[in-house]
Amino acid sequence: MNNEIENNVKETQFEDMRQQLNTLKKKLGEQEIVNDRLMRRSMRDQVNKINNRYFIIMALCVLMVPYGYWCFVMMSHLSIPFWIGTSIFMLICGGATFYNSRKISDPGLMNHNLVEARRKVASAKKFEANWLMFGIPAVILWFGWFVYELYHNNDGFVEALFWGGCLGGIIGAICGIRIHFRTQKNYQDILDQIEDLQSE
């Protein structure tokens, strides 16, 4: 009789433990789902920041074409070929930005396969880093052309335009470097979060 009671108590305790274990597993599963959703939302926010930044850059590149004509040709009396060269350079920058933004512009990028999302984000990050290898020499060549144009300009505003160009170049370089490193950090944050989700 005592053995039977002890067995019943043990079975009841075992059943309670099993129910508690199932409840714990369920809570852990729910916690993982919530954690997954939060991390994916965070990654989407990071992607949106990058895309918004890219949109502003593309808009500025396109607007530089008419603005460049007004500033360089009409106001500063620099040559038409210089304006055309500047416009082509700006449109190349805008086109490269658009090309890179296409890799991460899919609204459902972070809702699908994380392996594919990681591949696209890593590719966009690499392209962004490699772009400096073209961008920096191109800007140096453009600035050399700008100085050459000023040297052959006989309007009397050469010195003012030169120092204005230098100041604008320094401000532009600082802004460009900050944007570059901020974008690289956003990309790295996304890649780190994908790694965390994959490890889970």
Rounded to 5 degrees, what angle do the CA atoms 48, 196, 122 make?
50
Q: What is the pLDDT of residue 86?
A: 94
Q: What is the pTM of this model?
A: 0.75
Q: What is the pLDDT of residue 2?
A: 54
Q: What is the pLDDT of residue 59?
A: 95
Cβ–Cβ contacts within 10 Å for residue 110, how many? 23
pLDDT < 50 stretches in the chain: none
Q: What is the pLDDT of residue 29?
A: 54
Q: What is the pLDDT of residue 81?
A: 94
Which long-range contacts link 43-47 to residues 24+ away (Cβ below 8 Å)? 43/110, 43/117, 43/190, 43/193, 43/194, 44/109, 44/110, 46/186, 46/189, 46/190, 47/104, 47/109, 47/110, 47/121, 47/186, 47/190
Q: What is the pLDDT of residue 72?
A: 87
21-80 pLDDT, tens digit each: 666 566 555 555 556 677 777 788 888 889 999 999 999 999 999 999 998 888 888 889
DSSP label of 78: -
Q: What is the pLDDT of residue 166?
A: 81
Q: What is the pLDDT of residue 162?
A: 77
